[in-house]
């Protein structure tokens, strides 16, 4: 009897072990062929996946709907970066955590790309309208805390970012350099066409004042198209505007004759709506393109889709050609 019981137990144990091992095998991640690329923000992801075509796999660290200014990578994110062949970030102002992370990653095969290294940076507010160059000499004489990191909203900057990302692809995977180069050239032509479209449509607006009830996101875009940009608060999305600043923006709205105050998608519009109500104007949404909502992600929305959406809102808000 004891022998029979022991035999039954052994059979049950063996079956359970077999099922367990079978489940483990099904759950194992299969290695993905080709170059593995990890990016931080959405513009980098969209540019990189366009350059990659079918020759590389591109992923984004930022989960959908998450505010990027306060994002901090998790341990699993660090593992993803360390296992990649290419890691692309925007700049040290947008992702200040990058420098600390990359010093702790031990990977001889990982190439790290600062997509904004070719870009001319600007201060993130009206008090400092001087251009700033990235570089060691500049580091010695200027404080970087006030630099505007939203460089991709000037499409000439975006083209420079594409060039820098392309260099990273070619260095990491020279075998497919021809494909990467061709895809990047097509992408830059689209950026040039987008820039011309903006210039044409924004050339006949009744007002040149871009009034924004949020943080300083659209400075590069405004400068590119000769718009006068007034934002409620500073570079960081969690910066708190003073009562004086809010009152000043309301006065600016009333004196300008504006019909709309702009808010930023993916951020709460509550304060913007309050100020707009006080000033007697409507609210329109602009997209900073840092990230996507879950809905936009499911629709496979591109950087160009977001920028065309922005242009329609700008045309309406700036009263261009009767819109």
The CATH code for residues 35-198 is: 3.40.50.1980
DSSP 68: G
Distance of alpha carbon 38 from alpha carbon 18, whole angstroms: 36
Sort strands 131-133 and 120-122 into parallel, antiparallel or unpaired.
antiparallel
Region of residue 34 (phi > 0: left; psi between -120 and 50: alpha; otherwise: beta): left
Q: How many CB atoms lie within 10 A of CB 123?
A: 21
Domain 203-317: CATH class, spelled out: alpha beta
Residue-wise DSSP of 228-239 = EEEESS-SSTTP
Residue-wise DSSP of 78-138 = HHHHHH-SEEEE--TTT-TTHHHHHHT---SS-EEEETTTTSEEEBSSTT---EEE-SHHH
Report the predicted TM-score, pTM, of the whole model to 2 decimal places.
0.84
Phi and psi angles of residue 175, each rounded to the nearest 5 degrees, phi first:
-60, -35
Residue-wise DSSP of 130-189 = -EEE-SHHHHHH--GGGB---GGGSHHHHHHHHHHHHHHHHHH-GGGHHHHHHHHHHHHH
* Domains 35-198 and 203-317 equal at CATH topology level: yes
Q: What is the pLDDT along the chain (323 residues), one digit of tens a residue?
A: 444 444 444 444 444 444 344 444 334 444 456 899 999 999 999 999 999 999 999 999 999 999 888 888 999 999 999 999 999 999 999 999 998 888 888 788 899 999 999 999 999 764 333 333 343 333 322 334 679 999 999 999 999 999 999 999 999 999 999 999 999 999 999 999 999 999 999 999 999 999 999 999 999 999 999 999 999 988 776 677 889 999 999 999 999 999 999 999 999 999 999 999 999 999 999 999 999 999 999 999 999 999 999 999 999 999 998 55
User: Per-domain residue ranges for the chain?
Assistant: 35-198, 203-317
């Amino acid at each position: 009897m004891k022998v029979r019981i022991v035999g039954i137990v052994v059979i049950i144990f063996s079956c359970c072990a077999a099922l367990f091992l079978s489940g483990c095998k099904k759950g194992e991640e299969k290695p993905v062929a080709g170059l593995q690329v990890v990016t931080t923000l959405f513009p980098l992801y969209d540019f990189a996946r366009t350059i990659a075509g079918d020759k590389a796999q591109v992923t984004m660290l930022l989960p959908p709907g998450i505010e990027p200014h306060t994002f901090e990578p998790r341990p699993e994110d660090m593992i993803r970066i360390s296992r990649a062949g290419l890691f692309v970030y925007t700049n040290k102002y947008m992702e200040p955590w990058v420098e600390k992370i990359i010093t702790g990653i031990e990977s001889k095969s990982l190439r790290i790309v600062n997509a904004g290294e070719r870009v001319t940076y600007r201060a993130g507010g009206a008090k400092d309208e001087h251009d700033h160059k990235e570089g060691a000499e500049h580091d010695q004489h200027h404080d970087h805390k006030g630099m505007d990191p939203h460089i991709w909203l000037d499409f000439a900057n975006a083209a420079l970012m594409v060039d820098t990302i392309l260099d990273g692809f070619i260095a990491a995977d020279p075998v497919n350099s021809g494909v990467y180069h061709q895809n990047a050239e097509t992408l830059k032509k689209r950026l040039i066409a987008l820039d011309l479209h903006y210039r044409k449509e924004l050339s006949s607006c009744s007002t040149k004042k871009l009034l924004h009830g949020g943080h300083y996101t659209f400075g590069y875009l405004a400068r590119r198209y000769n718009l006068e940009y007034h934002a409620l608060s500073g570079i960081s999305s969690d910066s708190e505007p003073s009562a004086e600043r809010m009152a000043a923006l309301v006065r600016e709205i009333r004196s300008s004759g504006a019909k709309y105050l702009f808010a930023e998608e993916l951020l709460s519009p509550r304060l913007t709506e309050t100020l707009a109500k006080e000033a007697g104007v409507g609210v329109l949404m602009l997209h900073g393109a840092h990230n996507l909502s879950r809905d936009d992600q499911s629709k496979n929305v591109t950087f160009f889709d977001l920028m065309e959406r922005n242009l329609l809102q700008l045309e309406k808000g700036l009263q261009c050609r009767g819109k």
